[in-house]
Structure 1
Amino acid sequence: MSAAHSNIQGLNERVALQAAQWFFLLNSGDATATERHRCAQWRAADPVHEIAWQRAERINQTFQMLPGDLAMPALGRQARTDRRAVIKTLAVLLVAAPVGWQGWRLASGHPWLADHRTQTGERRELRLPDGTRLTLNTASAVDVAYDGTRRLLRLRAGEILIDTAPDSVAANHPAYRPFMVETPAGMLRALGTRFVVRRLDDDVSAKLPGLNGSAAHAYSEVAVLDGAVEIRPAANADRVLVLRAGQQTAFTDIAVEAPGVLSPQVDDWARGILRATDMRLADFLTELGRYRPGVLRCDPAVADLKISGVFQLRDTGPVLDSLPQALPVSVHYRTRYWVTVGAPEG
């Protein structure tokens, strides 16, 4: 074995991070000619650099870590967060590869390594082994862990719609396996139900009563269309709430918000539509932005305009192009992936 191949077994974190950063940049579509030249120089400077690069290519082929819409500029806060997460994950895999990627995948919790995932703008419906129907919304990721004692979904990112099937035995049978959904905020137990779960990883200290001024907490939302769902916060397991059909709520790892009336639009996304009724334009664009790569900005000058209608999510371009016909706004494309909605030009 060559010295370079021997050294790669002990690949240090600095080289792994450099390789991950270069690999992401050159696959992003944003690299300039100068940056491509500098990357080539970096690869040629040390045999270990080149081997690290080749390993990055193999890992990406194995795990499909870089989404198909990666050509978007990593401009927004969420995009920057995703970029850092991918780079960090790839760097760790470069170091961890010799000890086994599959075990690392199961322990890492990274969305791009999940059992099932969707890219930005994609929706997917699955049939699980017990007959449960699972629909993944845009940019979502979930692990499926069925065993002899429970049926468990781990929501790693995004939003899912679940239509649970009964277990093979009755609920009062000793071998009955409850259907569970786990998020960082806590555990949900389905009680014969159809429900939506959404994971949000922002700082939510101001979103739920009693959390103002406290540290950030894991945050999830759940809405029940049929049946009921038991909510158990991760760090406050004694505080259990049963959410009934026609109710929705939000919860963190320590608190559960009082249930509210179910929004009639809560599962519209599963039918590929976004319904707005006197919605603030800023809120509308935030929601629409979940279904398109890149950055979609709203100028504060038009943020409070109200919009109503039913919009198709399959192609968000026509939705944006129609806004000036409905509202006193203009739509400015800096690039295909950087769009600003603002006051009318002139």
Structure 2
Amino acid sequence: MEQAADWFARLRAAPADAALRGQWQQWLEQQEQHRIAWTYVERISQRFDSLQPQAGAAHQTLASLRRTQRSRRQVLSSLCVLSGGATLGWLGWQRHWVDDLQALTAGTTTAVGEVRRQVLADGTLLWLNSATALDVQLDGQRRLLTLYSGEVLIETAAEARPFQVQTRAGSLVPLGTRFSVRQQGARTLLNVYDGAVRATCAASAIQRVANAGQGLGFDASTMAATTPACAQRQAWSQGLLVAQDMPLGDFIAELADHRRGHLAVNPLIASLRVMGTYPLNDTDQVLAMLESALPVRVSRRFDWWVTLEPAEK
């Protein structure tokens, strides 16, 4: 994807250079991963710049790419060969470009960078994280929350009707509790801060109960063992990102959820440790804070393509 971004910049700077277009065409046709990465860069650029591809050959190729039908699973399978910061960037793009119909038509959504508090009719409190899409159904029999993308922090109201959270990985039934649910690709991540939650895999029906102070991850077929829940994970509901000895790679992956465009970190510095409290409503300020505290520099290929690189010596 870094190569795709470089080609994008070069073609944009010299739209009439036929030789350059020919070299780009050769690069594009070398591997399927090149075509996928190019599509990613081109689609991100459209969100920030209405400029259309200026080379005729480029326009025809992009049109062909748009007509090619790939399932989400096929695309992700192809992207498994990508590594490091590029993979983090793709995952961020995949989370922000919610392209399934259910998420697009969800009754409750937040934009990228938006965090919102909501009170349901039964008194349950919800905090919706950035780029979240969900539906809420309250009737005489049950209370059902269906999470399609993003993350929600839930503080359930005590009443007789059962409360259930449904995700693509399975279901969660709280037992009088405060907990967060995050959809990350095909996996659901659960953190329980008060009470307990029973998680069930959709396909295998494997079940496990996570108690206060525990978390777990699962997909439709498998469920991991419980791990300690991080209380600081709730800080996003207050517009903050709290890091306590967090790897820089993990930190940037969290920050990318609150920023439009591509945000990644060079794998050479992904293991640097981050400490402190950072404001999610100003990601540029966060990047400046990282640059002043760590041996890193912020590289801006475009306004919408940012990568953290090792500081120049």
Compute the TM-score of the two structures, normalised by the length of structure 2. 0.70
The residue number in structure 2 matching 1:155 is 147
Shift of 1:34: 6.6
| 3-state secondary structure, aligned to 1:192 | coil
| 3-state secondary structure, aligned to 2:231 | coil
Matched, 1:221 2:240: no
Shift of 1:85: 5.5
The amino acid across from 1:156 in the alignment is Y
- How does 1:38-187 map onto structure 2 within 5 Å? 76-78=89-91, 81=94, 86=99, 108-109=101-102, 111-167=103-159, 176-187=160-171
Higher RCO by CA contacts (8 Å cutoff, separation 6 or greater): 2
- How many Å separate the matches in 2 of 1:25 and 1:325? 28
The amino acid across from 2:90 in the alignment is R
- How many Å separate the matches in 2 of 1:248 and 1:82? 21
1:89-134 deviation digits (Å, cap 9, x = unpaired) = 6xxxxxxxxxxxxxxxxxx42x221111111111011111101001
- How many Å separate the matches in 2 of 1:263 and 1:319? 21
Q: How many residues align?
A: 241
Shift of 1:335: 2.2
- How does 1:268-283 map onto structure 2 within 5 Å? 268-283=235-250
Aligned-residue RMSD, C-alpha = 2.7
The residue number in structure 1 matching 2:221 is 254
1:164-219 deviation digits (Å, cap 9, x = unpaired) = 1122xxxxxxxx32000000111111111111111111xxxxxxxxxxxxxxxx31
Shift of 1:137: 0.4
- How many Å separate the matches in 2 of 1:301 and 1:27? 30
| 3-state secondary structure, aligned to 1:266 | helix
Which of 272-281 and 189-198 deviates more? 272-281
Q: Which has the larger radius of gyration?
A: 1
Shift of 1:33: 6.0
1:23-52 deviation digits (Å, cap 9, x = unpaired) = x899734332676x9xxxxxxxxxxxxxxx
Q: Quickly say closer, same or farther: Cα 1:34–1:281, change in 2 above 3 A.
A: closer
The amino acid across from 1:189 in the alignment is V
Contact in 1 for aligned 2:44/2:261 (Cα 8 Å): no
5+ long unaligned stretches in structure 1: 1-23, 38-74, 90-107, 168-175, 202-217
5+ long unaligned stretches in structure 2: 1-42, 57-87
Contact in 1 for aligned 2:170/2:219 (Cα 8 Å): yes
Matched, 1:316 2:283: yes
The residue number in structure 2 matching 1:290 is 257
| 3-state secondary structure, aligned to 1:270 | helix
1:150-173 deviation digits (Å, cap 9, x = unpaired) = 100000101000011122xxxxxx
- How does 1:295-306 map onto structure 2 within 5 Å? 295-306=262-273
Compute the TM-score of the two structures, normalised by the length of structure 1. 0.64
- How many Å separate the matches in 2 of 1:323 and 1:25? 24
Residue identity (%) = 41
Contact in 1 for aligned 2:151/2:183 (Cα 8 Å): yes
- How many Å separate the matches in 2 of 1:25 and 1:288? 17
Matched, 1:191 2:175: yes
Among 32, 35, 39, the alignment partner of 2:51 is 32
Contact in 1 for aligned 2:92/2:256 (Cα 8 Å): no
Q: Quickly say closer, same or farther: Cα 1:25–1:255, change in 2 above 3 A.
A: closer
Q: Quickly say closer, same or farther: Cα 1:76–1:146, change in 2 above 3 A.
A: same
- How many Å separate the matches in 2 of 1:343 and 1:335? 18
- How many Å separate the matches in 1 of 2:53 and 2:227? 55
